Amino acid sequence: MNILYNILAVLFCFILGYLFGSFPTAIVVGKVFYHQDPRDYGSKNAGGTNAGRLWGKKVGLSIILFDMVKTIAPMWICWALFTFIKFDGKALCPSVDLVNNFGLNSAYIIPWPVYWMSLLGCMIGHCYPIYAKFKGGKGVSCFMGCTVTTTWMLGLIPGLLYFAILKWKKYVSLASILTSIIITVLTWIWVILVMCKVVPASLYSLPTYGINLNINWVFASIETIMCIILVVRHRGNIERLKAGTERTISWMK
């Protein structure tokens, strides 16, 4: 029966994330306020960067921030449901496991932080939205939302690096790709250090906002998949970068 609970929990988190992620923010804003579909202009991408080029920096930034929120909202919903809902007097799944350090804990019906699956669902929904004929963005905002709102340390350091690369090269795509890869590598380094007990249990929650979220191999694995999706979605940008025809930004001096 526990296997069934695990399967249902995965499907619930993934589908909820996908439905949230499928909300096409840039498309809705474009059609409602500007009577334009961003997929018909510029890079033909339904993301914040293209929206900013079309309708201004403030609009683009607002769309990016909203897409970050829509990424993390279903994760926190799933976390709350599986943490506070009791079954036979115990929580459905762990919010944090300081004792076993990322190991499976039989005290829970669902012995792993299944809520992270909503992030993957949201990423896929954003890139391939069911509400917009499966033509969406490239996932940068989702990846940023996944990282910045769950772990300050793995968001702050690469975040500063992102703007450094952007200021240096003036390519949003290059900064996005490199930063996502660096974030993923740093996440795995932290997870491996904790799993190998190099980091003491007292510092386990150091990179997170408190002890509620379980930053473990599950999170790192899902983040890796999200990073791969992001890079694949930027394959056209990579080709233009190689050819020297990628568009640069002009707002950062």
The tens digit of pLDDT for each residue in 152-204 reads 776 777 778 888 888 888 898 999 999 999 989 988 998 898 888 888 767 77
Which range is least confidently modeled, 4-18, 76-90, 176-190, 223-237? Answer: 76-90
Is pLDDT above 70 for 124?
Answer: yes
Distances (CA, A) of 219 to 36, 53, 114, 159, 223: 37, 33, 9, 19, 6
Average pLDDT (55-77) is: 92
Average pLDDT (106-125) is: 84
Which range is least confidently modeled, 25-39, 101-115, 204-218, 229-243? Answer: 101-115
Name 112's Cβ contacts closer than 8 Å, sequence gap at least 6: 93, 94, 104, 218
Average pLDDT (118-135) is: 94
Residue 163 has which token pair? 């703007």
Query: Angle 57-61-62 (CA atoms, 0-180°, nearest 5)?
Result: 120
